[in-house]
Amino acid sequence: MSERLVILGAKGGPAIRPGGPMPTSSLLEIGGRRIVVDCGLGVTRGLVDAGVPLKTLDLVFITHLHSDHVLELGGLLHTAWTAGLSTPVRVFGPAGTKAYWRNFCMALDFDIDIRIADEGRPDLRDLVSVDEFSEGPVFDEGGLAVSALRVDHPPVTECYALRFAHGGRRIVFSSDTAYFPPLANFARGADILVHEAMLEAGVDRLVERTGNGERLRQHLMASHTLARDAGRIAGAAGVGHLVLHHLIPADDPTFGEEHWREALRASWDGLLTVGHDGFSLAIA
Ligand SMILES: [Zn+2]
Ligand SMILES: [Zn+2]
């Protein structure tokens, strides 16, 4: 298996628009493991388009339970099952992930039961196991170590950055967070930092467009990171490559790659990618 990071959905927030990017999900292939990080709407299509046979699904990590990160977790697991999944899948998520999965299976029990009886499939509910984690070590197996850092994403308290380490390589996902300096320590020396980012001018336009006014602006400013501050984290951490992710705005044609690069000019002069759906980066 090639070792790569693929941004499957680069958009922050659950809404989608014609021809626009999809909400947050990523694929990380490292150390022979296939890892899905977050399952926003579109994750299943994104994996298929990235060339991943769904029945080879292996590990799934959910950073927090906002719908733009978890809406399609059930849909992904169920679709993988109908595509022939017969090996165990392990899901790791914060408190509440077990209830999500239990309730998803209840919602789909007609379909699951009928496919077991009619098509002779194994029971999906037996194939999937869910582990809930909090801050600290999450997973350690075959040289792949995963750890979590609680980040600052009010009012959500169970929200975690994740660090994947294998054979000296480290890839860190910020998850959703306000500017959070301890993240620099957590991401120290990482090869790749996938950090959420927001453009202030874009927020003004978004607030106008969606009509939620000041309330939306307050939420965004209190719980997300401006692009220049994502650059500050990357700089303090000394990472090799900064990939901007969970873009706000992601689908406003007024703002293109040059606006993101401009926003980071003063804070980050290293390798920079403005994430987009389907972006793939080989891991050296
Ligand atoms: Zn989000
Ligand atoms: Zn969130």
Q: How far is CA 183 from the centre of its chain?
A: 16
Q: Calculate how far, in angstroms, residue 176's C-alpha sits from the geometric centre of ligand 1.
A: 6
What is the pLDDT at residue 4?
A: 98
Does residue 249 have a cis bond before it (omega within 30 degrees)?
A: yes
Q: Which token pair is 79?
A: 């679709």
Examine the pLDDT at 212 and tell me if it is beyond 80. Answer: no
- Percent of the chain residues topping a pLDDT of 70: 100
Ligand nearest to the CA of 158: 2
Ligand nearest to the CA of 68: 1
Q: Calculate how far, in angstroms, residue 30's C-alpha sits from the geometric centre of ligand 2.
A: 26
What is the pLDDT at residue 71?
A: 98
- Percent of the chain residues topping a pLDDT of 90: 91
Torsions phi, psi for 253 (to 5 deg): -65, -10
Q: Which token pair is 206?
A: 């978004």
What is the pLDDT at residue 102?
A: 98
Is the Cβ–Cβ distance between 227 and 260 less than 8 Å?
yes
Q: Which of 93-97, 167-171, 201-205, 261-265 has the lowest mean pLDDT?
A: 201-205
Q: Calculate how far, in angstroms, residue 110's C-alpha sits from the geometric centre of ligand 1.
A: 31
Rounded Cα gap, residues 268 and 232, in angstroms: 7
What is the pLDDT at residue 206?
A: 82
What is the pLDDT at residue 205?
A: 86
Provide the CB-side half-sphere exposure for 80 (13 A, CA). Answer: 29
Rounded Cα gap, residues 3 and 128, in angstroms: 25
Q: Calculate how far, in angstroms, residue 248's C-alpha sits from the geometric centre of ligand 1.
A: 9
Examine the pLDDT at 213 and tell me if it is beyond 90. Answer: no
Q: Calculate how far, in angstroms, residue 115's C-alpha sits from the geometric centre of ligand 2.
A: 34
Q: Calculate how far, in angstroms, residue 5's C-alpha sits from the geometric centre of ligand 2.
A: 21
What is the pLDDT at residue 248?
A: 95
Ligand nearest to the CA of 24: 1
Cα 68 to Cα 25, 143, 207, distances in angstroms: 9, 30, 18
Q: Which of 16-25, 30-39, 205-214 has the lowest mean pLDDT?
A: 205-214
Per the confidence metrics, is the pTM higher than 0.85?
yes
| Residue 279 DSSP label | E
Q: Calculate how far, in angstroms, residue 199's C-alpha sits from the geometric centre of ligand 1.
A: 15
Residues having C-beta closer than 5 Å to ion ligand 2:
66, 176
Ligand nearest to the CA of 156: 2
Rounded Cα gap, residues 8 and 22, in angstroms: 8
| Beta-strand pair 4-9/279-282 | antiparallel
Q: What is the mean pLDDT of the chain?
A: 96
Rounded Cα gap, residues 93 and 64, in angstroms: 7
Q: For 214-219, which contacts have Cβ atoms below 8 Å and span 24 or more sequence positions?
A: none
